[in-house]
Structure 1
Amino acid sequence: MAPRTAAALHILVKHKEQAEDIIKQLNNGGKFHMLAKKHSTCPSGKNGGDLGEFRQGQMVPQFDKACFTGEILVPQLVKTKFGWHVVKVLYRT
């Protein structure tokens, strides 16, 4: 059986309040790629937060769990050792 894969966008910030504010902006029609470019501390921010496709188990556990069990296309909050992520899963196989 082929390994499961997912594709996701994310915005990495230091503080939960900022991440929650970004989710509010997204829910009010904000554009994910614009917010990622503006706020994300991850190098992927300059690509609109695009992480591309990755295999299950490739990311840190909390992030991996969110990507493989969370809702698709719904921004969610994930805390990891890197900070607070706003994650939007595009699809998974």
Structure 2
Amino acid sequence: MARTASALHILVKHKEQAEDIIKQLDQGAKFHVLAKKYSSCPSGKKGGDLGEFRQGKMVPSFDKAVFKGEILVPQLVKTKFGWHVIKVLYRT
């Protein structure tokens, strides 16, 4: 059976901005509010919600972070699209 995960993300162009977003989250900011404000991905309008997806569906560095990183802890990942702040909600 294929593994699946559900995650939120915020996509920005610059590492410094992504690091600032993580600081805001650490200070209690709501992920969905920051996603709507900063994310350049269309999912930003939905609070950064990517829904549930299968392992191998996303670009490799994003996929690795989602399926190997901590759950519910914001993490920073670089892809060809830019810098992502990712929060994994669950994995199966």
| TM-score, normalized by the shorter chain, greater than 0.5 | yes
Moved over 3 A (4+): none
Residue 7 of structure 1 corresponds to 6
TM-score scaled by length of structure 2 = 1.00
Cα deviations by residue, 1:36-91 (Å, 9 ceiling, x for unpaired)? 00000000000000000000000000000000000000000000000000000000
Cα deviations by residue, 1:2-35 (Å, 9 ceiling, x for unpaired)? 1000000000000000000000000000000000
* Aligned-partner Cα distance in 2 for 1:27–1:3: 32
TM-score scaled by length of structure 1 = 0.99
Q: Which segments of 5 or more consecutive residues in structure 1 lack a partner in the other structure?
A: none
Residue 59 of structure 1 corresponds to 58
> SS of the counterpart of 1:67?
helix
Report the RMSD for the aligned CA atoms in angstroms: 0.2
Residue 48 of structure 1 corresponds to 47
Residue 89 of structure 1 corresponds to 88
* Aligned-partner Cα distance in 2 for 1:39–1:32: 10
> SS of the counterpart of 1:73?
coil
1:33 aligns with 2:42: no
* Aligned-partner Cα distance in 2 for 1:28–1:5: 29
* Aligned-partner Cα distance in 1 for 2:39–2:8: 11
In percent, how many aligned pairs have the same letter? 84
